[in-house]
């Protein structure tokens, strides 16, 4: 075992960590907002078909194809190249981020839908009787209950998004997997380099799952009674 090489590799890989985290956090935030909008769309019939089509489209195709489509595909259309979005869509960072957001929104909207289904009609009626406006009801009753119900499923989604960020290495973004790939092509020592990268990702995902488990316990105060 060549420890100085391993140390060198780990330091180099950790330089990619900020970009990995940046992509993961921003795609989860953007995807969450879009997922909420998709669920609001579901309130009427036409919107519901639209939302279902969106989910079918983005869950049925591989993320890799979505990334390539936005990066290589959209850039090949003259209409896109002349539009104001071109400075954004020319940049692999924004293309990767947009693909991750769109993909995350499809999965998160389904998780949120499950959570919203768990909100009882009675609690909504009670809110109405108290004279809450629709927005206040959403903010104080519906979303807190829905989010608490959806949290276990959502923790899976957080972890899968952290892992999905590795795919943007295929469009030349130097996050952790991109850096690992470039070190391998310089040194031909795939086993050590990819294993080091795997360990960093593993620590990250374990940390997140522990964190969400803690949050879950904090958000369910009434379970604490069953000691």
User: What does the binding site for another protein look like in residue numbers (CB under 8 A)?
Assistant: 56-57, 59-66, 68-69, 72-77, 159, 163-167, 169-170, 177, 180-181, 184, 188-191, 194-195, 197-198, 201-202, 204-206
Which CB, 151 or 197, lies closer to another protein? 197
Which CB, 36 or 197, lies closer to another protein? 197
Which CB, 93 or 194, lies closer to another protein? 194
Burial profile 171-183: b = 16 or more Cβ within 10 angstroms, e = fewer:
bebbbbbbbbbeb
* Least Å from the CB of residue 135 to another protein: 30
* Least Å from the CB of residue 166 to another protein: 4
CA–CA separation, 175 and 19 (whole Å): 6
CA–CA separation, 33 and 6 (whole Å): 40
Which CB, 88 or 202, lies closer to another protein? 202
The dihedral over CA atoms of 214, 219, 225, 227, expressed in degrees to the nearest 10, equals -10
| Structure tokens that stand for 18 in this block | 């900020």
Contact (Cβ atoms closer than 8 angstroms) between residue 9 and residue 196: yes
* Least Å from the CB of residue 201 to another protein: 5
């Amino acid at each position: 075992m060549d420890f100085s090489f391993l140390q060198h590799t780990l330091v180099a890989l950790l330089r990619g960590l900020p970009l990995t985290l940046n992509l993961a956090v921003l795609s989860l935030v953007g995807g969450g907002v879009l997922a909420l909008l998709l669920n609001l769309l579901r309130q009427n019939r036409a919107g519901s078909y639209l939302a279902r089509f969106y989910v079918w489209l983005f869950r049925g195709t591989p993320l890799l194809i979505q990334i390539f489509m936005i990066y290589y595909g959209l850039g090949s259309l003259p209409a896109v190249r002349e539009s104001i979005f071109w400075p954004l869509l020319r940049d692999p960072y924004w293309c990767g981020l947009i693909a991750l957001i769109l993909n995350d929104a499809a999965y998160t909207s389904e998780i949120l839908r499950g959570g919203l289904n768990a909100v009882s009609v009675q609690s909504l009626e009670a809110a109405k009787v108290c004279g809450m406006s629709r927005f206040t009801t959403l903010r104080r009753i519906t979303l807190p209950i829905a989010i608490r119900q959806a949290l276990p499923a959502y923790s899976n989604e957080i972890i899968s998004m952290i892992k999905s960020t590795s795919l943007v290495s295929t469009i030349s973004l130097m996050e952790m997997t991109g850096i690992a790939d470039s070190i391998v092509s310089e040194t031909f020592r795939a086993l050590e380099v990819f294993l080091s990268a795997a360990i960093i990702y593993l620590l990250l995902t374990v940390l997140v799952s522990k964190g969400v488990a803690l949050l879950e316990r904090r958000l369910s105060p009434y379970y604490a009674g069953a000691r």
